[in-house]
Amino acid sequence: MGRKNVALIVHDGVQALDVAGPLDVFAEANARIPAMDGYDCYLIAAGAGPLRASNGMMMIAHLTFAQACRPFHTVLVAGGPALPNAPEDEAMSSWLRQWGVRGTRYGSICTGAFALGHAGLLDGRIATTHWQNAGQLAAMFPASHIELDRIYIRDGALVTSAGVTAGIDLALALVSEDFGAELALACAKRLVVVAQRQGGQSQFSPLLQPRTDPETPIGRVQAYVLEHLAEPFPVERLAEIAGTSPRSIARIFVKELGTTPHEYVESVRLDQARNLLEGTDRAMKAVAFDCGFTTPEQMRAAFQRRLGVTPVRYRENFQGNLQRNTR
């Protein structure tokens, strides 16, 4: 298979775990495969001096952009809390356009997606980022399609992950892709990653989101949907609850929550279904109806589209992970 060189793009204010998490996954993989295979990892930055991560930790890049004028098998831009509102780093954008896309795959961890967007590498592509920044990413780069409820996504050569620890999930998926699922599982166990979350699994729970002011249109809708989940919710009904027009409620949802009313309702239904599948032995039909799906088939379609797995397999996977973790 041969060695694979990995470039992690770092910058002032980088999220340390966006860097350390994937590096530890690749290091664990290296410890378990022949020396002729594995990963050679490099930190690459604009300058040669020390960088301060968002937690205060200092790091020094192996190479500058000027020194790294060659293709890498994998290129990942690490995120950072300030990156969504930072101006474009023109040196980084130029390097990404010239060299970042020449390898087998390129992408980002967490808010590193904003750097890809500035470089024009998200145009026409499907990507994800930290759920708190997904709406902003979609607004800043409207030529892209941003999915806020994904742990990681692969769209051709582009790979992107959700927030912070999701970089570990992405790195494990890349190891599995390169050297097989058995090696990825061994790395996960060594790092005490209890279970590899699948790339389609929701990265946050709408049931745990802080609710907006219940007197606002969005707040009224959130409160009502969470308490009456079995009801049907066409956009006209949601607009009635909010006290506004269907067009207005759609615009407000996108602006305030970074999602459409339909996607929000489906996310809540899906999350409650996951809770019931994890914590009860209720029949699939009962779970579907309790969560507002019109049929078990509709729930199955939602699971496959959003999570990449059927409800039956989701329950089996969760119960299998639970049994392993309690041994």
CATH of residue 179's domain is: 3.40.50.880
Q: What confidence tier does 192 reach under pLDDT thresholds 50, 70, 90?
A: confident
Find all residues with CB under 8 Å of 264, minimum gap 6, and list them. 206, 225, 253, 257
Average pLDDT over residues 274-300: 91
How far, in Å, CA of 108 to CA of 118, rounded? 13
Pairing, β 158-161 against β 152-155 = antiparallel
Residue 221 lies in a domain: yes
Residue 196 lies in a domain: no
Residue 128 lies in a domain: yes
Contacts of range 263-267, beta carbons closer than 8 Å, 24 or more positions apart:
264/206, 264/225, 265/225, 265/233, 265/238, 265/292, 266/302, 266/306, 267/149, 267/202, 267/206, 267/306
- Summarize pLDDT for 116-136 with one digit per residue, the tens: 999 999 999 999 999 889 889
How far, in Å, CA of 225 to CA of 241, rounded? 10
- For the chain, what is the mean pLDDT? 89
| Domain shared by 183 and 304, yes or no | no
Residue 205 lies in a domain: no
Q: What confidence tier does 79 reach under pLDDT thresholds 50, 70, 90?
A: very high
* Count of domains forming the chain: 2
- Summarize pLDDT for 25-77 with one digit per residue, the tens: 999 999 999 999 999 999 999 999 999 999 999 999 999 999 999 999 999 99
pLDDT at 211: 55
Residue 158 lies in a domain: yes
State how far the alpha carbon of 145 is from the alpha carbons of 116, 141, 255, in Å.
13, 9, 16
| Domain shared by 180 and 222, yes or no | no
| Domain shared by 18 and 108, yes or no | yes
- Summarize pLDDT for 221-248 with one digit per residue, the tens: 988 998 899 999 999 999 999 999 999 9
Burial group, residue 4, by CB count within 10 angstroms (0-12, 13-18, 19+): buried
Query: Is residue 9 within 8 Å of 115, Cβ to Cβ?
Result: yes
Residue 210 lies in a domain: no
Of 150, 172, 190, the residue at which a domain comes to its end is: 190
Of 173, 190, 207, the residue at which a domain comes to its end is: 190
Please identify which residue in the block is written with the tokens 């192996």.
Answer: 62
The residue among 286, 290, 284 whose CA lies nearest residue 303 is 284
Domain range spanning residue 252?
217-324
How far, in Å, CA of 196 to CA of 173, rounded? 9
Residue 199 lies in a domain: no
Q: Is 310 left (phi over 0), alpha (psi -120 to 50) or beta?
A: beta
Contacts of range 125-130, beta carbons closer than 8 Å, 24 or more positions apart:
125/155, 125/156, 125/158, 126/153, 126/155, 126/158, 127/153, 127/155, 127/158, 127/160, 128/152, 128/153, 128/160, 128/161, 128/162, 128/203, 129/79, 129/160, 129/162, 129/163, 130/79, 130/162, 130/163, 130/164
| Domain shared by 163 and 95, yes or no | yes
pLDDT at 319: 60
How far, in Å, CA of 225 to CA of 265, rounded? 7
| Domain shared by 184 and 222, yes or no | no
Of 190, 206, 226, the residue at which a domain comes to its end is: 190
pLDDT at 327: 43
| Domain shared by 21 and 157, yes or no | yes
| Domain shared by 151 and 264, yes or no | no
Residue 85 has which token pair?
A: 């509102």
| Domain shared by 101 and 17, yes or no | yes
Paired with 9 in beta bridges are: 44, 77
| Domain shared by 235 and 318, yes or no | yes
Residue 201 has pLDDT above 70, yes or no: no
| Domain shared by 162 and 98, yes or no | yes
| Domain shared by 14 and 78, yes or no | yes
Paired with 59 in beta bridges are: 51
Residue 287 lies in a domain: yes
pLDDT at 326: 38
| Domain shared by 20 and 145, yes or no | yes
CATH assignment of the domain containing 284? 1.10.10.60
pTM of the complete model: 0.69
Q: Pick the residue with more confidence: 164 or 107? A: 107
